[in-house]
Structure 1
Amino acid sequence: MKKLDKLILGSFLGPFLLTFIVVDFILLTVNMLKYFDEIFGKGLSFWIYAELIGYFVISISPMALPLAVLLSSLMTFGNLGEHFELTAIKSSGISLLRALRPIGVFVIFLSFAAYLSNNYLVPKVNLKTFGLLYDIRMKSPALDIKAGVFYAGIPGYSIKVNEKIGEYGLKDIIIYSHAGGSSGNLNMTLADSGRMEPFFNENYMKLSLFQGINYSEERQTRGIKEKPVEFNRTSFDTNEIVFDLNNTFKLNRTAEDAWSTNRSIKNISQIKLGLDSINTLLNDKLYQNYQSTESIYPFFTRDRKFEPPVDIAERKFIDDSVRQEKFRREEALKDSLDNLKFNTSKDTGAVLTENPESRLLSTSDKDAAITSLKSVKATSSRTVKESASSMSPVKGQVENKPTSGDTAVKSEPKIVLNAPRTAPLTDKERKEIDSLVVGRGIKQSAVTMALNNSRSLKNNFSIRKTEIENYKRDYRRFQIAWYQKYTQAFACFAMFLIGAPLGAIIKKGGLGMPVLVSIIFFIIYYMLTITGEKWAKEGLTDPLFGTWFSILCLLPFGLFFVRQARKDSRLFEPDFYLSMWKSVQNRIKVLRSKAN
């Protein structure tokens, strides 16, 4: 590595580490303020908060890296330009692109490291962050009874103390007990003084009450004629109440499997599996809709099938084949395990009754089963014959009537058929049919039934449409989480293309102009990122374009700044724009003179 590369890279690393720590601290503060009321005041140890802060620092690093690269590269080349070091570099025959190379190579490696962090480290940290944050939220606040205020932190009790004496002393105590699921102030205890102190490693709290009265009343029933409820009043000199704080004020850690479906804790391979699962559910829902819709329109589907599209049918066939193969493998594995157990028990002389293959019928059992099956068939056939003989013949069926000459010999079967009517309806028949339709309200009933069916179909279609839209929205969100792992890493390089040439153009170091310009461009980048992701979530654009929208918008600015920096353009000096305006005016005058 040449001395020039060491000089430029050394002047970049210091501001980069400093700005990264500052930006990370600012984003950490913003994140902690979101959950301030939920995580503080719970009486947690320092190490719990340190663990949570460490998780937050790692999870927000992908957002802090682009801003740190932008600010540090702008400060580096601003300092080089302010101290005329960049001018000396150019005067020695070294181009600006050559001067940008050491930091550019570092930023490329940094982008690759950011991608690895987004794909492997951040998902695991997010998993632990979600679990710890949820446990802190569910934990009850620390036991802190204040004078003159009702305290309801202990489940089933409301405690009010008018005065606190020392660390454990209490005076003028009022306690409402709601233990046992009772509602209302039916159990009240008054005490002149008392002491509340923890014991057994602060897992339990003992409340000692002195000189008090306990009032207890049964709940009044709804009946007016019921007798009055029982009311008890008990006086005491000393009364002790023990509260179990083990499950109330201790932090219980939730298993990490509870967050296994969140896309923020998945790497790219797991996100692809999630996309395939969502696509399978979506395709099954669409296929079921086509199958169920066919029965809704019997008139239009009488002579043809309302079949789903080819791509949906093919996907359904593939998914069913995969399910069958998975089920077959599971059954084969189960059978192999059963055979292994059976062989092991056979070697040891034991008999496994739970093995399905060992449940074989003996010869006598088989004969008894066949005999009972024949008897059931005979009984059922006899019952069918008796029911058939008891039925009277109807029109259109075969009639068997005995002849008058011989009762033993039955006549030949005679078939009676109803000939279809070909004559049109008479005016009298039409009037009778119309009177039935109008008089009995058949037409109105038909219209009402049709309207009810239409409303029911509309509601069903709305529900199905909502389910399909939810699946599609989840699919798009998984795609956004997939592409974000690339865009957040590539944003470091895009910010370098903006910051380094801007520093060479501005030629101002320190924390003045560079900080202002960096904040402006980072706000633009953040707004464009949020806008593109929102478009992608709502389905207004493709998720790939939505996630890369901010990069595509800012990349031309970076290339433009690189071009202007190579020309030593004075973009941020008023003389540059005044000379440009004068040249435009002169050209307009020339064009007017030619026109005249």
Structure 2
Amino acid sequence: MIKKLDILIIRSFIGPFIAAFAISLFVLTMQFFWLYIDDLVGKGLDLITVLKLVGLVALFWVPMALPLALLFSSIMTFGNLGEKFELVAIKAAGISLTRFMRPLLVFTFFVCGIAFLFANNIIPVTQLKLSALKYDIIVSKPSIDIKEGIFYDKIDGFIIKLGKKEKNDSIIHDVVIFEKGYYLQDNIMVAESGVMRVSKDKQFLEFILKNGWRYQEKGPRGVIETEFTRMGFKEYKKVFDLKSFQMNKTEDSAFYDPKMLSVRQLNLAIDSLDHIDTFYAKKAKLEVSPYLRFTRYADTGWSKILKPLPKVKPAKIFPDSLNQQLIDAAANQLATVKGSVAVMAEDYKAKYLSMQLHEIEWHKKFTLSVACLVMFLIGAPLGSIIRKGGLGTPMVFAIVFFVLFHLLNTFGEKFVRSGQTNALIGMWLSTFILVPISVFLIYKAMHDSQLFNQEFYYRNFKGLRKFLATFKKQKND
């Protein structure tokens, strides 16, 4: 009988779980395309590239879709069983709720392992390939990024404005190019029309401009003797280096991100960053001490003096004629020390932020897998309490708790990034809050709680309503 009961609960659960997982993965995947829709539409991508992009995005969201699917399917399964009074029959047979949940609990542990394997082994590779593919899509036809009537400044040293583009994104009209530099003013190039294309090696963006002018001003700053040059042209070729996109397509290291590392690699990276305090203390001593020469003559015997020294009239060491030179020398020395300390402080801040990002990703490998267990422990007792099947009520409760989970994760990560807390507390914040809620719901479900029974609250507040009505009537009289 017990084995048949296990089969019953697994069969009741597996269908809603697969459906919920598919829906969750679809919604999360569409979120990516809504975000990058402007970069994808009109690129002329072939079917294989689109399918590859969809597959990589779907794989990336698997660890996030699993907790949501477990939460929704567990609420739906136990809600259906409660609505059909099957839970009542099972409890009447002397089978406790925890025993009834046991086969699904074993299944949830299996899902937790799958989530960890995805987060640790598959997601790092997926993130790398997804970053490379997004770069290829953007570079393959960057003209789509240069929109009509909008100043485009993603190419270092230049600002481009296009008045109009043809449907093929290659023929352009009313072109204005500002060449930024340390000149009297920006050099300007205007053209009536032209052709925009990417070189065969995808390293350069070429503009073949027609019927235009180039304006340039030369001369030293601060004087009026400058030279203004205006050059007209029938055809002019302008080449832009796409390396200014700050990515190197051929080198994987250009796409380095802590999300692309496994737990073992993150351990090595964190271990190398964990000693930055000692490193910068030694570096500060080496770089700053040469400028603070008086520290060499510090006398430790001063700390042993018990009585104050007698007042002695200070003697002049340097003549008055050297005062200004000494002040300037001291100011320059202090400025050098300040500059060195500022550079080291910025470098330290960057290294410390890098260590925080690595720690965030390390904890995230485990929090997403543990979240599967937490979501199940919330969904199963919640479904047995509300005793409502179908899609409506379970969907509402699933969205509420998943949004709470996501917000707590987001807030915790922001707290870690801003330095307000450490990675352990920030990344496990959602678990620390949701676990007590799951324990509370399990306790209520085991004791047949009326937590979400509308009639229960109606009966209990009936006396209060009568008292308020009587009080209101006496007040009016």
TM-score, normalised to structure 1's length?
A: 0.60
Is 2:409–2:427's contact at 8 Å kept on the other side of the alignment?
A: yes
Q: 1:16 matched to which residue of 2? A: 17
Question: Distance in 2 between the 1:121 and 1:185 partners?
Answer: 48
**Which of 246, 261, 265 in structure 2 is aligned with 1:266?**
261
1:277 equivalenced with 2:278 (yes/no): no
Read off the aligned partner of 1:51 and give its amino acid letter: K
Q: 1:575 to 1:114 in 2, by over 3 A?
A: same
Instruction: For residue 258 of structure 1, report the CA deviation from its aligned partner.
Output: 3.2
Is 1:525–1:550's contact at 8 Å kept on the other side of the alignment?
A: yes
Is 2:288–2:337's contact at 8 Å kept on the other side of the alignment?
A: no
Q: 2:40 matched to which residue of 1? A: 39
1:564 equivalenced with 2:428 (yes/no): no
Is 2:356–2:417's contact at 8 Å kept on the other side of the alignment?
A: yes
Q: 2:366 matched to which residue of 1? A: 486
Read off the aligned partner of 1:135 and give its amino acid letter: D
Alignment of 1:436-515 (within 5 A): 437=319, 440=321, 442=323, 445-447=325-327, 449-515=329-395
Is 2:173–2:191's contact at 8 Å kept on the other side of the alignment?
A: no
Question: Distance in 1 between the 2:238 and 2:343 partners?
Answer: 49
Question: Distance in 1 between the 2:217 and 2:286 partners?
Answer: 58
1:119 equivalenced with 2:120 (yes/no): yes
Question: Distance in 1 between the 2:327 and 2:289 partners?
Answer: 22
Is 1:24–1:60's contact at 8 Å kept on the other side of the alignment?
A: yes
Q: 1:519 to 1:440 in 2, by over 3 A?
A: same
Question: Distance in 1 between the 2:212 and 2:414 partners?
Answer: 60
Q: 1:109 to 1:297 in 2, by over 3 A?
A: farther
**Which of 283, 290, 293 in structure 2 is aligned with 1:288?**
283
Q: 2:467 matched to which residue of 1? A: none
Is 1:188–1:216's contact at 8 Å kept on the other side of the alignment?
A: no
Read off the aligned partner of 2:274 and give its amino acid letter: N
Alignment of 1:75-474 (within 5 A): 75-141=76-142, 184=188, 254-255=249-250, 257-259=252-254, 261-279=256-274, 283-295=278-290, 296=292, 298-299=294-295, 302-303=298-299, 437=319, 440=321, 442=323, 445-447=325-327, 449-474=329-354
> SS at the partner of 2:294?
coil
Q: 1:25 matched to which residue of 2? A: 26
What is the RMSD computed on CA atoms of the aligned residues? 5.0
Structure 2: gaps spanning 5 or more residues: 153-157, 181-185, 203-209, 301-312, 465-477
Is 1:282–1:472's contact at 8 Å kept on the other side of the alignment?
A: no
Question: Distance in 2 between the 1:108 and 1:288 partners?
Answer: 48
Read off the aligned partner of 1:102 and give its amino acid letter: P
> SS at the partner of 1:94?
coil
Higher gyration radius (CA):
1
Instruction: For residue 484 of structure 1, report the CA deviation from its aligned partner.
Output: 0.8
Instruction: For residue 215 of structure 1, report the CA deviation from its aligned partner.
Output: 8.0
Q: 1:184 to 1:492 in 2, by over 3 A?
A: same
The number of residues matched between the two structures is 427
Instruction: For residue 299 of structure 1, report the CA deviation from its aligned partner.
Output: 3.8
Question: Distance in 2 between the 1:231 and 1:549 partners?
Answer: 64
Deviations along 1:185-229, one digit per CA (max 9) or x if unpaired, are 577689xxxxx9x9xx9x9xxxxxxxxx9788997988x999999
Q: 1:583 to 1:255 in 2, by over 3 A?
A: farther
Question: Distance in 1 between the 2:330 and 2:339 partners?
Answer: 14
Question: Distance in 2 between the 1:85 and 1:525 partners?
Answer: 30
Read off the aligned partner of 2:250 and give its amino acid letter: A
Q: 1:297 to 1:566 in 2, by over 3 A?
A: farther
Is 1:39–1:133's contact at 8 Å kept on the other side of the alignment?
A: no
Instruction: For residue 583 of structure 1, report the CA deviation from its aligned partner.
Output: 11
Deviations along 1:66-98, one digit per CA (max 9) or x if unpaired, are 111101100000000001111111111111111
Q: 1:545 matched to which residue of 2? A: 425
> SS at the partner of 2:274?
helix
Is 2:175–2:192's contact at 8 Å kept on the other side of the alignment?
A: yes
Q: 1:372 matched to which residue of 2? A: none
1:535 equivalenced with 2:415 (yes/no): yes
> SS at the partner of 1:476?
helix
Deviations along 1:87-135, one digit per CA (max 9) or x if unpaired, are 1111111111111111111010000111111110111111100111122
Instruction: For residue 556 of structure 1, report the CA deviation from its aligned partner.
Output: 0.7
Read off the aligned partner of 2:347 and give its amino acid letter: E
Is 2:173–2:192's contact at 8 Å kept on the other side of the alignment?
A: yes
1:555 equivalenced with 2:435 (yes/no): yes
1:67 equivalenced with 2:68 (yes/no): yes
> SS at the partner of 1:568?
coil
Structure 1: gaps spanning 5 or more residues: 191-195, 204-212, 235-239, 305-429, 585-596
Deviations along 1:444-487, one digit per CA (max 9) or x if unpaired, are 55455545544543443333223222212211211111111111
Question: Distance in 1 between the 2:299 and 2:50 partners?
Answer: 70
Deviations along 1:152-200, one digit per CA (max 9) or x if unpaired, are 9xx9x999899x9x99xx9xx978799xx9965577689xxxxx9x9xx
Is 2:276–2:348's contact at 8 Å kept on the other side of the alignment?
A: no
Instruction: For residue 281 of structure 1, report the CA deviation from its aligned partner.
Output: 5.4
Read off the aligned partner of 1:94 and give its amino acid letter: I
Deviations along 1:390-424, one digit per CA (max 9) or x if unpaired, are xxxxxxxxxxxxxxxxxxxxxxxxxxxxxxxxxxx
Instruction: For residue 137 of structure 1, report the CA deviation from its aligned partner.
Output: 2.0
Question: Distance in 1 between the 2:214 and 2:370 partners?
Answer: 70
Question: Distance in 2 between the 1:532 and 1:230 partners?
Answer: 58
Read off the aligned partner of 1:262 and give its amino acid letter: D
> SS at the partner of 2:391?
coil
Question: Distance in 2 between the 1:26 and 1:581 partners?
Answer: 41
Is 2:120–2:262's contact at 8 Å kept on the other side of the alignment?
A: yes
Read off the aligned partner of 1:298 and give its amino acid letter: F
Instruction: For residue 261 of structure 1, report the CA deviation from its aligned partner.
Output: 2.9
Q: 1:11 to 1:216 in 2, by over 3 A?
A: closer
Question: Distance in 2 between the 1:241 and 1:227 partners?
Answer: 22
Q: 1:268 to 1:132 in 2, by over 3 A?
A: same
Is 1:476–1:543's contact at 8 Å kept on the other side of the alignment?
A: yes
TM-score, normalised to structure 2's length?
A: 0.73
Q: 1:95 to 1:300 in 2, by over 3 A?
A: same
Q: 1:577 to 1:291 in 2, by over 3 A?
A: farther
Read off the aligned partner of 2:75 and give its amino acid letter: L
Instruction: For residue 290 of structure 1, report the CA deviation from its aligned partner.
Output: 3.1
